[in-house]
């Protein structure tokens, strides 16, 4: 995901097939990444047909941070553990 973010920020032109190959993932995985970024990270992604590239509607930054497991609430834990929130 961070590699895809770098390609987008670098304004690298290319469609889904090209960028998926560049990232070493399948086209389907590429679209899953795009969807995850849009829905879960609220990334304002779109495909700019004029520039033949994926772009952000406005500037921002994707930031990941590490949280100790004890600081994750039950809803987040359920999502991480695939439905189980037992610790």
pLDDT tens for 10-31 read 999 999 999 999 999 999 999 9
Q: Which two tokens stand for residue 49?
A: 């047909």
The 10s digit of each residue's pLDDT in 37-62 is 999 888 999 999 999 999 999 988 87
Two structure tokens written together for 21: 């190959």
Neighbour tally for 19: CB within 10 Å: 22
E-only strand ranges, the chain: 45-48, 53-56
- Which pTM was predicted? 0.69
């Amino acid at each position: 995901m961070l590699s895809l973010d770098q390609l987008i920020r670098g304004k690298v032109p290319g469609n889904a097939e090209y960028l998926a190959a560049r990232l070493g993932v399948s086209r389907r995985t590429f679209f899953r990444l795009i969807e995850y970024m849009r829905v879960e990270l609220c990334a304002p992604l779109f495909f700019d047909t004029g520039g033949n590239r994926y772009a952000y509607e406005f500037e921002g930054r994707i930031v990941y941070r590490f949280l100790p497991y004890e600081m994750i609430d039950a809803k987040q834990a359920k999502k991480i553990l695939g439905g189980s929130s037992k610790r």
